[in-house]
Copies of this chain bind each other. A is one copy, B any other.
Amino acid sequence: MFDPEQTFSDRNVLITGGIGFIGANLARRLLNLGARITLIDSMVPEYGGNLFNLAGVEDRLTVNVSDVRDAHAMTHLVRGQDYLFNLAGQTSHVDSMEDPFTDLDINCRSQLSILETCRHHNPDVKIVFASTRQIYGRPDYLPVDERHLLRPVDVNGVNKMAGEWYHILYNNVYGIRACALRLTNTYGPRMRVRDARQTFLGVWIRLLVEARPFEVWGGRQKRDYTYVDDAVDAFLRAAANDAANGKIYNLGGDRVVSLEETAEIMINANGGGDFTVREFPEDRKRIDIGDYYADDAAIREAIGWEPKVSLEEGFEHTLSYYRECLGHYV
């Protein structure tokens, strides 16, 4: 049985990208479990860091504003940690195409640097890396399991693929316990809603809360979504369970829906709202991946994870959060 309190109480936990969407939710959960938490975040404006994500808990954890590209800072911060949740990353595929070297530095070089730092200064740490379903590219078959080939469709995908494999490699060669979760569209309170850099859902939520219509591109593509509390639960289980070491797991959602159905569920959860369906923009067609949804049987079987929050419930929580706090996110 997974007893999160026993696992994380009084343990030292480092979260990179810790002031971002998933990192901050993870930190809040870990605080409730009694962990001693240090967050690293670069606070680069285009990325996910937002100090409001820590509202009310700032004094109960250590915030270290620094960049995972800063090897010296990382060396200091990694020492003595029991768990490292490695969530820092550049997530925008548009940004990765416009500035591929910054994406490489963050998603590729810094990951290697973090692992080298752990190897030299804290080889007993357990690492969980936030990877992404984006690296599969356009699926050959559905649902996509972990045996599907990786065919990234943007620079971000190539670099995330490399970043993921550095982790698996350091587990296999050096015995630094590490695993990777391939996240699908993750949503919930504290997500970036200012723009689509994390997921299109962010912009939809913002516009709904502002009582403005949002756009659905295409509409028939199928997707799955993980509510952030479920994603956090997967990170905790992967950290706690050595069966996950060296493994890569897909995360899925409670069910598969088309983009248009997603929009309708969201509008119902909001109690109203409008959207228009428009054709997929020409410049995005080359990187459009069509339908995607995950086979997440592997993580269910190996470490007992399952998504528990329905889309309806998740959207209600999320919309309710942003009705109250939107001003801190736009």
A residues sitting closer than 8 Å to B (CB atoms) are 97, 100-101, 104, 108-109, 112-113, 116, 147, 149-155, 157-159, 161-162, 165-166, 168-169, 172-173, 286-287
Residues of B within 8 A of A161 (CB): 161-162, 165
Residues of B within 8 A of A147 (CB): 149
Contact A172 B153 (CB under 8 A): yes
Residues of B within 8 A of A154 (CB): 169, 173
Contact A152 B169 (CB under 8 A): yes
Residues of B within 8 A of A162 (CB): 108, 158-159, 161-162
A interface majority secondary structure: helix
Contact B108 A104 (CB under 8 A): yes
- Docked CA distance A154–B113 (Å): 15
Residues of B within 8 A of A116 (CB): 100
Nearest-Cβ distance from residue A134 to partner chain B, whole angstroms: 12
- Docked CA distance A109–B155 (Å): 11
Q: Which of B109, B149, B150, B165 contacts A101 (CB 8 A)?
A: B109
With contacts A108-B104, A108-B108 known, is A152 near B173, CB below 8 A? no
Residues of B within 8 A of A286 (CB): 172-173
Residues of B within 8 A of A287 (CB): 173
Nearest-Cβ distance from residue A112 to partner chain B, whole angstroms: 6
The residue on B at minimum CB distance from A248 is: B151
